[in-house]
Structure formats: C-alpha cells, structure tokens
C-alpha cells in the first residue's frame, strides 16, 4: 500500500480526547495513521471543518496530513444532527482525492489512493459512497455499534434495532471489503448482530505508545498531578456520559470510605454527547449525597500523553463502562502496571485477566467493585504481582504491529475483486 484515505468525519484526530465527542477513536486514528506514515504509507485523514480558523490541510508529520473538509455549518454540530451533512462531506473528500476532471491523482499530485478506511458509522456512510464513485476498496472500523449498545442497555428496548444508524451500519458492513474489529468479542458481535461474512472481518487490536505509557514511580506521579495524600487512590478516565458510568466509580469510592478506608477518586474527563450535561449533574449530586465531595476530584480532559501520570498515581483504575468495543483506557493503565477493575463486557474481557491483571465485574454494583478494590489492595505483594502481570499482558500491543496488520489487510483487499451491494 502506498496511500490510504482515512475518514474521520465527526471528530478530528487533532482534537484532544475527552472533550465533546472526542475519545478513544481520536487516539486510534492519530496513532494508527502516524505508525502507517512512519512505515512508508502516505495517510490523508479527512475530517469535517468545525472552525473558520482551521487551515485546509495540516501536515502532522512526513506522510501524514489532516484535511479539513467543509460540510455543513463551519461550527460544532451536535452528533445527532451530523448525518445530514455526510453527502456534502463525501463530495468534498472526492474532490480532494481526484483531479479537476475526477481522475486519480498523478504522482506529481501525491499519487492515487489505494483504499479508503472509514471510522465510525457516519464516516462509513461517506466511505460507502466514495467506494462506488472511485472504485476503491472500503475498510470500515465502527468503534461502537448501535445493536451492541442496544443489547447492553435494556432501557433502549428492541425499537433501537430499527434506527437509521443500525440500518446504515448493516448496509455498510454488507458492502465493506473488510470490517476491522478490535478483538474476537467484537468480531463475534458483528457476525451475530449484523449477519456479516466472517471471512471479511479482520481482528486488528489497537496499540499503545510504550514510550509514553509504562511503569513509573507512584509518589512522583502523585506530585505531578497535584495529589499529595497518602491514601488509596482510584482513577477514572473517560467522557462523562451514561455509557461510561462514572457514577459507579464514585459510588465505589464512597463505599470504600464507609468501610473505613482513606480513599479518593480522580475523574479525568468532561461531559460528552446529549446525555453528558445531565450525567455530569447527576455525578455531582451523587458526590454530595454520599458525602464524598472532598474525596472525588474532577479534572478537566488532559492531553493524551499526560494521562500516564494519572495512571501511575493510582492504586487501581476503574472502567465500569456499560459497553466497550475494546477499552483503550484499561490497556493504557495495564501498560503502566496499574490493576484495572472493569465491567465484564466487550473488549474489556480480552484485556483484563480476572484475578491476574485486575478484576472483571459482571454487574453494575458498587459493592462488588469495592470488594474487588479491597482484594487487589489487600497486600503489597498481591498488588505488585498483579501489576507485573498487567505490564506483561499489555506488552504485545503496539501501534507498529497494528499498522503492519492494516497494511497487510489493505494489500489483500486491493488484490481481490470489490464486494458489491
């Protein structure tokens, strides 16, 4: 593969994770394209312009450029309203991928594209259009799936399965030349819930920048984040929204305090999505109701590389999400040698080895999360054994390996006939 078009319609890899709709996908796109560029594959990321101050193109590093495409208002648009602008986005991307006559770019213009890699269902819609217009293979990564969310949230009911998003995901999955899954669990969900052809699902786990994330001195890390107490410290990293269930982390710390522990919690993240503001308000109300306002420290979203200090400062990292296709926070924490207490869902079950690198909890019960934290921290010897096992478990995950796997995947689909729909 020489050149890859990467679609990240609803959020830019240049945005800071944890702000608005930015999250693990931003890290994924940025790190994966960077690794591809360093391996010799030119990557062009196309994202929607949200500010008149954004330049047309940002050259991030040799071989990696981010292009801002005007599609709809040049302003932030709620995620729920973005589908109306997918067509304009596809048109803008096509113009950048071809010359003035609609032909592939010449070598002097950067060279023709080999394939399209779409991230999230909105980008996949645009990618589906571009695939047929440009006769290029489409690789789709969904990050989250509507039918998986419906399965894990009983309040949504079966009607959720008939939404536009669900139908769009099914349509694109049926026409994608390859669908990337982050783990075997996600691959099985795509097959079972969407009727995907298993032969076109490729498992490529995300990676970790081991130069940034790794074991370190806890006392120094606590000084770095401004936490001086000699106490049990839990850390939650993620957007404040119902899906991530930060309330479970707060209730867990409250339960530990009630059991007599000197316990604190740092929450790194901000409100996200339509349910974000109400989730944040409910979180502060819970803190007051459980009398832990002075023990729960709310921290604004941080640059990705600074999260390593928050992980290293912790005794445990709590990941009580309702669903996770992978669970990058859990992997980053494990790389830093921090035991993870996580919900037993999705990709988290492939990252956390119960009672070896952390604990998996199969119910949203703060009492059980508190039991797990107590078990991990019962002795220094146990904590250290779990820490060492977590580092060993996380070691194989690298962005270089992910890039090589994607390059191989693209090579195979380029050499095959395009899937038609």
pLDDT digits (tens, 9 = 90+) for 27-72: 999 999 999 999 999 999 999 999 999 999 999 999 999 999 999 9
Q: What pLDDT, in 10s, does the model give residues 72-91?
A: 999 999 888 999 999 999 99
Q: What pLDDT, in 10s, does the model give residues 358-385?
A: 999 999 999 999 999 999 999 999 999 9
Indicate whether 232 and 309 sit together in one domain: yes
Compute the distance between CA of residue 169 and CA of residue 122 in angstroms, rounded to an integer: 9
Residue in this structure with the two tokens 């081991």, named with its chain if needed: 210
Q: Which pLDDT band, with edges at 50, 70 and 90, does 22 fall under?
A: low
Indicate whether 154 and 285 sit together in one domain: no
Indicate whether 20 and 166 sit together in one domain: yes
In a domain, 212, yes or no: no
Domain that holds residue 252: 218-394
Indicate whether 343 and 227 sit together in one domain: yes
Indicate whether 159 and 234 sit together in one domain: no
In a domain, 170, yes or no: yes
In a domain, 126, yes or no: yes
Q: What predicted TM-score, i.e. pTM, was given to this entire model? A: 0.90
Indicate whether 389 and 296 sit together in one domain: yes
Exposure b/e, 185-221, CB count within 10 A at least 16 = b: bbbebbbebbebeeebbbebbbbbbeeebbbbeeeeb
Q: State the first-to-last Cα distance of the chain, in angstroms, to the nearest integer.
A: 25
Compute the distance between CA of residue 206 and CA of residue 20 in angstroms, rounded to an integer: 22
Torsion angle of the four alpha carbons 75, 100, 127, 182, in this order, in degrees rounded to the nearest 10:
-90
Question: Average pLDDT of the chain?
Answer: 93
Q: Which pLDDT band, with edges at 50, 70 and 90, does 153 fall under?
A: low
Indicate whether 119 and 148 sit together in one domain: yes
In a domain, 15, yes or no: yes
pLDDT at 110: 86
CATH number at residue 258: 3.40.50.2000
What does DSSP assign to residue 278? H
Q: What pLDDT, in 10s, does the model give residues 122-135?
A: 999 999 999 999 99
- β-bridge partners, 297: 266
**Total domain count for the chain?**
2
Indicate whether 236 and 190 sit together in one domain: no
Indicate whether 194 and 100 sit together in one domain: yes
Q: What pLDDT, in 10s, does the model give residues 89-103?
A: 999 999 999 998 888
In a domain, 163, yes or no: yes
In a domain, 420, yes or no: no
Which residues make Cβ contacts (< 8 Å) with residue 11, sequence separation at least 6? Answer: 20, 21, 22, 23, 25, 26, 47
Do residues 368 and 343 touch, judged by C-beta distance below 8 A? Answer: no
In a domain, 232, yes or no: yes
> In this structure, what token pair is assigned to residue 393?
């478990």
Q: What pLDDT, in 10s, does the model give residues 198-236?
A: 999 999 999 999 999 999 999 999 999 999 889 999 999
Task: Order the strands of the 340-343 sheet from edge to edge.
Answer: 296-299, 263-268, 232-237, 316-319, 340-343, 358-361
pLDDT at 33: 97
Indicate whether 164 and 313 sit together in one domain: no
Indicate whether 298 and 329 sit together in one domain: yes
* Run of H or E residues at 146: helix 146-152
pLDDT at 148: 85
In a domain, 182, yes or no: yes
Indicate whether 340 and 367 sit together in one domain: yes
Compute the distance between CA of residue 191 and CA of residue 340 in angstroms, rounded to an integer: 29
Do residues 209 and 292 touch, judged by C-beta distance below 8 A? Answer: no
Residue 154 has pLDDT above 70, yes or no: no
Distance of CA 200 to CAs 142, 146, 176, 177, 419, Å?
Answer: 14, 20, 8, 7, 10
Compute the distance between CA of residue 75 and CA of residue 277 in angstroms, rounded to an integer: 20
């Amino acid at each position: 593969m020489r050149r890859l078009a990467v679609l990240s319609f609803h959020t830019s890899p240049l945005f800071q994770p944890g702000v608005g709709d930015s999250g693990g996908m931003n890290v994924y796109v940025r790190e994966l394209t960077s690794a591809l560029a360093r391996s010799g594959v030119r990557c062009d990321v196309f994202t929607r312009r949200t500010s008149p101050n954004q330049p047309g193109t940002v050259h991030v590093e040799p071989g990696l450029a981010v292009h801002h495409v005007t599609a709809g208002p040049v302003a932030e648009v709620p995620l729920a309203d973005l589908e109306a602008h997918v067509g304009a986005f596809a048109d803008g991307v096509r113009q950048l991928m071809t010359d003035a006559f609609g032909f592939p770019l010449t070598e002097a213009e950067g060279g023709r594209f080999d394939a399209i890699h779409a991230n999230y269902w909105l980008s996949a819609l645009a990618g589906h259009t571009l695939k047929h217009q440009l006769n290029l293979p489409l690789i789709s990564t969904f990050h989250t799936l509507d039918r998986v969310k419906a399965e894990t949230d009983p309040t949504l009911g079966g009607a959720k399965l008939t939404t536009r998003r669900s139908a769009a995901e099914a349509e694109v999955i049926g026409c994608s030349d390859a669908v990337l899954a982050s783990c075997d669990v996600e691959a099985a969900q795509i097959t079972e819930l969407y009727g995907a052809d298993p032969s076109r699902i490729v498992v490529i786990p995300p990676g970790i920048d081991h130069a940034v994330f790794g074991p370190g001195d806890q006392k120094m890390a606590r000084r770095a984040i401004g936490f001086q107490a000699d106490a049990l410290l839990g850390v939650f990293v993620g957007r404040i929204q119902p899906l991530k269930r930060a309330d479970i982390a707060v209730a867990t710390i409250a339960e530990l305090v009630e059991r007599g522990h000197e316990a604190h919690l740092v929450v790194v993240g901000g409100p996200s999505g339509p349910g974000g503001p109400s989730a944040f308000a409910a979180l502060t109300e819970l803190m007051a109701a459980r009398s832990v306002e002075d023990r729960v420290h709310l921290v604004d979203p941080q640059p990705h590389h600074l999260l390593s200090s928050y992980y290293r400062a912790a005794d445990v990292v709590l990941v009580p999400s309702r669903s996770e296709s992978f669970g990058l926070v859990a992997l980053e924490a494990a790389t830093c040698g921090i035991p993870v207490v996580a919900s037993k869902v999705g990709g988290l079950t492939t990252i956390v080895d119960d009672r070896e690198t952390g604990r998996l909890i199969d119910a949203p019960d703060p009492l059980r999360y508190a039991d797990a934290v107590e078990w991990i921290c019962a002795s220094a010897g146990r904590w250290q054994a779990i820490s060492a096992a977590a580092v060993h478990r996380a070691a194989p995950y690298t962005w270089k390996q992910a890039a090589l796997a994607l390059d191989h995947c693209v090579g195979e689909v380029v050499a095959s006939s395009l899937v038609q729909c």
